[in-house]
Structure formats: C-alpha cells, structure tokens
Amino acid sequence: MSTDEALTARFAPVYERIAAGALDREAERRLPFPEVEWLRAAGFGRIRVPAEDGGLGATLPQFFRQLIALGRADSNLPQLLRGHIGFVESRLDHADPDVRKRWLRRIVDGALVGNAQSEDASPSFWQNATTIRRDGDGWRLDGRKFYSTGSLFADWILTTATIDADNSATVLVPTDAPGVRRDDDWDGFGQRLTGSGTTVFDAVPIADEDVEPYANGTSAPSRQPAIYQLVHLATLAGIGQAAVAEAVAFVNQRTRNLANPAQPNPRLDPQVQQVIGRLESRSFAATATTLAAVDVVERGPGDAADAAVFAAQSAVIDLVLGLTTELFEVGGASAVTDRFRLDRHWRNARTLASHNPAITRQTILGDHLLNDTSPSTWVQRAWESVRG
C-alpha cells in the first residue's frame, strides 16, 4: 500500500505543471490533452489498483486527498477523469474475477475510460434511446449521448443502452471502433475543458465480453453513486483551495487600497484580512467535510455511505459557492479584471454544483432520517415512475 508521502512525491510535480498552464488553457479554451498524458504517465489512472495487480494501492482517503490536490491545480482534470475513477471502483468490486482481472490489467497498462450516460433525446435518465442489439457473435450499438465527460481523452467509453422493454446493458466501447464519433460541443459556462460533449454511436460493433446486461430497476448495493458524487465534492474542495490561494496572491500584489486610506497596504487592512480568514475557514471546512464522507464510504456500501455523501454534498456546495463569491471582496473592481480570471472558480463551482441536484439528495436524506427509507430505493422508485 502506498503512503500519502509517496503519492505526493510522485504526483505533486505533475500538479505543479498542470497549475502553471491553467489560466492560459482557460483563456484559449485549450483542452488539456498533454496534461492528461502527464497524469497517465505518472500512473494516476492506476492509483487505486492494488499493488499486487500492478497498481499503486492507494486507499480511498489517500486517493481523494490526491484528487483534491489535482482539483486545486485545475478543476477540469478531476471531472474529466470522473468516469474512469468510477469505472475502476466498479471493476475492483466486480463479482466476476475474470472481468476484474481483464480490466485491471488494461488499466495498469494505461487505459483510460470515459463516460457517456446521459441523453437529451430520451424522456428521462432511466430510459435510453440508445440501443444495443445482437449482431452475429457480438452486438451492435446505435445512439447519441450528451455530457460525455472525459470521452475525448479516453481509450474506452462506458455507456448504457436499451436491449428491450425490460432489460438494458452497460457497454464498454473502444473509442477507435468504427462508427464512434466524439464531438467537442460542450457549451457550459464552467468546466469548459472537460470534453463533456456529444458522442455518437453508429452501428458500432461491440464484443460480447464488453456488454453487461441487467434487468431494468435492479440495483445491488454499490459504492458507485457515492464515489461519483465524491469526485464532484473533491473537485469543489480543490476549487475552494485554489480560490483562497489566488485571493491571497491577488492581495499581496496590490500596492494601493482605495477603500481604506488608513491602511494603504491592502494586506495590512483588517477588513481584507477578515475576508481572507473567512475564505480559508470555508475552504478548510469543505475539504474536511469531503474527507469525512470518504472515510464513511471506505467502510463499504450501504445506507450510511450514501447518507454521508448526500449530507456532505449540500454543505460543500454552500461552502465553496459562498467563498468563490466572497473572494471578490478583497479587491473591488480590480478583482474582476480578466487577466486574473478569478470568476472561473465560481463558474466551475456552480457548474459542478448543478450535477445531481442537491435538492433531490436533501429530500432523499430527509426521507431516510424521518422514515428509515433506504437511499438506494430512489433507483427503484425512478423506474416505477417510468413504468407508470
């Protein structure tokens, strides 16, 4: 098993290189292809794979501490790797040892997996207009996915498709397969460099071993929902840390203080100091809350893990959105000049906070506490609603 010190020694220089170009990439809307390759070469994609299988053997808390550090360097990177992170966890927990071994070997060899689940053509998240049908000894995949986060950078795409009225399938698609098209058409105002665009599947041939059918509405206990949400929370915590660091740097480079002539040096102004102190308090709390939820998930899947992550979600969102708004109080109009791009922290945090709506998670958490309803039953309820 790796230590925090060993992981930091391995990855911190990569984070520094990534951070050095973050502002320019944002200004030019330049997708971070080289940066993804730096992470791949350093072994970030296999950080959770056990050492005996060729990985780095990090625990969940160790890994999420590294993910927060990556989010501080550039919040686009953890999100574009979110599909890969969740997929690795699914393979680590997979019941079939042959499937587990096959995929861990590919991951150790450097394979990255993107994500393409959501559609803008289907009536709900629980129904896929994308279809997969038997075709000889294999399958044929047809459809269109939106929010294909990370797929532009990946070797494989994890997607879902309808088999028939009662069954769907998880499908692994090689990105170089004939009939696969990946478009960089994500037009959100935040997280612009995550490759979260459209993926089109046009009669894509799929090997039988890369199709995993399941009955609609079934859901075994799994850490997947918690892991996927924790990636967002770690990214938000990283944004909070970056925002504080840049607010401090902004204040330290200023030489005049129009608002308080009694303190011509802004860094000596008690009001500015108070704002910086509040920003750091919120950032510290966001990081601590995220890691506390990680500790619960490390113990295994179940209601406690889901409840911890859902509770952390609302708190971290409020903390980071609050601090990325308040940071402008340290400099007035000077803080909104485009060369600092401090606005990107709020835009990125707001975009992340819009995923998996917090109001839904708050309702699920309240129902769990008041009525002992298992958070995982929302999957069954969603399918029942679709069928109804």
For residue 86, what pLDDT is reported? Answer: 97
Beta bridge pairs of residue 174:
156
Count other C-beta atoms under 10 Å from residue 44's C-beta.
26
> In the chain, which residues fall in CATH 1.20.140.10?
224-387
Half-sphere exposure of 306 (CA within 13 A, CB side): 24
Count other C-beta atoms under 10 Å from residue 178's C-beta.
9
For residue 138, what pLDDT is reported? Answer: 96
CA distances from 349 to 79, 208, 230, 231 (A): 11, 40, 14, 13
Distance CA 80, CA 67 (A): 12
Contact 236, 320 (CB under 8 A): yes
> In the chain, which residues fall in CATH 1.10.540.10?
4-111
> In the chain, which residues fall in CATH 2.40.110.10?
115-215
User: What's domain 224-387's superfamily in CATH?
Assistant: Butyryl-CoA Dehydrogenase, subunit A, domain 3 (1.20.140.10)
For residue 261, what pLDDT is reported? Answer: 66
Give every residue of the chain whose pLDDT is below 70, as ranges: 122-126, 219, 256-263, 379, 382-383, 386-388
For residue 125, what pLDDT is reported? Answer: 61
For residue 191, what pLDDT is reported? Answer: 96
Distance CA 373, CA 380 (A): 12
**What global pTM score does this model have?**
0.95
For residue 126, what pLDDT is reported? Answer: 63
Record the tokens describing residue 62, joined without a space: 């160790």
pLDDT tens string 169-215? 999 999 999 999 999 999 999 999 999 999 999 999 999 999 999 98
For residue 154, what pLDDT is reported? Answer: 98
The C-alpha angle with vertex 219 and arms to 218 and 223, in degrees rounded to 5, equals 170
* CATH class assigned to 4-111: mainly alpha
Contact 290, 237 (CB under 8 A): yes
For residue 315, what pLDDT is reported? Answer: 98
Paired sense of beta strands 113-116 and 156-162, if any: parallel
Cβ partners under 8 Å of residue 217, min gap 6: 379, 380, 383, 384, 387
Record the tokens describing residue 47, joined without a space: 């950080």
**Architecture category of domain 115-215 in CATH:** Beta Barrel (2.40)
pLDDT tens string 282-303? 999 999 999 999 999 999 888 9
pLDDT tens string 16-42? 999 999 999 999 999 999 999 999 999
